Amino acid sequence: MDEAETSKKGKLIIARHHESDWNKLGIWTGSRDVHLTEYGFRKSEEMGNLIKGIRIDQAFASTQIRSYETLLGMEDKAHDLDVPVEFSSALNERDYGDFTGKNKWEMKKQVGDEQFECIRRDWNCPVPNGETLKMVYERAVPYYINKIVPLVLEGKNVLVVSHGNAIRALMKYIENVSDEDIRNVEMIFGCILLYDIDDKGKMISKEIKKVESSVNA
């Protein structure tokens, strides 16, 4: 694909929501709807400064409030507040089932380091009454391919604000990460990914921008 063809396409911009009330407490949030902290709002605005000057034609967010609040903070600093937004549960955070509402660090002591990392990072590690990362992939990636990729290919700059595991699922597809290697992929707080993508929504190039963040999650 030559440079001229790539330049006709838009940018795919992916951001993780910033600190929520439960992130601050080290609690597994998952499908629970929790607001940003004051720190999270402030850092969301800083994230908006990272993409200042990039016209956003369309935004996507999960149906969870921490995602939308992050989007609003970013837009407030970077853009007018008239960017169309589509919300979808396909972009929601992984459902941690019976672990939801429990303190992560206390749980780590109970299950041990290896099992804890398996629960948090592995491709297909089950949690009681919850989702695996594979299950998140199976809802997030088709939505990305069908709804988001066509807009980027039309030349639109698209901002997606979602959650750590939903974004890891997208990264697995976009960057061709193996089932084994996905445990080494993390989407940290305050990080923004800017992609050029091909016709299948796969990565051509990637730029990472981030603000300094300290989150207990």
17 is catalytic: yes
Q: Output the six-digit token pair for 217.
A: 């999650």
Burial class of residue 112, CB neighbours in 10 A (0-12, 13-18, 19+) = exposed
Integer-rounded Cα Rg, in Å, for the chain is 17
Catalytic residue among 17, 18, 79, 163: 17
18 is catalytic: no
Cα–chain-centroid distance for residue 215?
15
Q: Hey, is 123 helix, strand or coil?
A: coil
> What beta strand segments (E) does the chain contain?
12-16, 58-61, 85-87, 158-162, 191-197, 203-210
Catalytic residue among 19, 69, 75, 93: 93
Per-residue b or e along 66-97, where b marks 16 or more CB atoms closer than 10 Å to that residue's CB? bbbbbbbbbbeebbeeebeeebbebbbbbbbe
Q: How far is residue 43's CA from residue 49's CA, in Å, rounded to a whole number?
A: 10
Residues annotated as catalytic (active site), given as ranges: 17, 93
